[in-house]
Amino acid sequence: MAISEGLDKLGKAARRLNETSDRLVQLVRAIDGALGRLNLAVDYVGQRPLDERTTTDPHGKRTIELAYLSYLCVDDRYQLAIKTIKIHESKVAMSESDGGTIQPLLGAPRGLLHAAVDHLPELVGALSKQVWDLVNQVERRCQIARDLLTDLESLEAMTSGAWTVPDSDD
């Protein structure tokens, strides 16, 4: 009896986990879609890893794999993503890292997707800051362009009709 009761509890727990996980995926998909509709086109890679895995090869060299929540261009559109970086260490205390791999968050393993949700507020805050910084830069550049255009139009008005092209001495 005890084994069948344990299996029953396990089955109920698994069903509930799968149902709530499916709801979480739907919510993340909706968040990803809402961010995409904002048409931000700005890159972000989280500061804290979602996951860290370390392996050691037969020669004693370690490889550390770090996964970060990101907002990057993947498959020709900006979307929530996981950027994974591998750091290869050697006994000589030197290390090297590759540029990393990027995959859409919605295609990541369930554990990474679940962990990423805890980092979403940080990502949204960082994107907001980046966008406001960009807005300020574009507004400053608009002012520069307006001032230059005003100066050029004034110069044009002053020289209108009075400007002659000098003959070349070639």
Amino acid (one-letter) located at 14: A
Number of H helices, E strands in the chain: 3, 6
Structure confidence at residue 166 (pLDDT): 63
Structure confidence at residue 156 (pLDDT): 86
CA distance readout (Å), 134 to 33, 129, 141: 22, 9, 10
Structure confidence at residue 161 (pLDDT): 63
Structure confidence at residue 57 (pLDDT): 87
Strand segments (E) across the chain = 44-45, 51-56, 62-74, 77-89, 95-97, 101-104
Nearest of 97, 80, 79 to residue 88 by alpha carbon: 97
CA dist., res. 52 & res. 37, Å (int) = 31
Listed by start position, the domains of the chain span 2-157
pLDDT < 50 positions in the chain: 91-93
Structure confidence at residue 133 (pLDDT): 96
Question: Is-contact 70 48, C-beta < 8 A?
Answer: no
Structure confidence at residue 93 (pLDDT): 46
**Angle, CA 134 vertex, CA 129 and CA 139 arms, to 5°:** 130
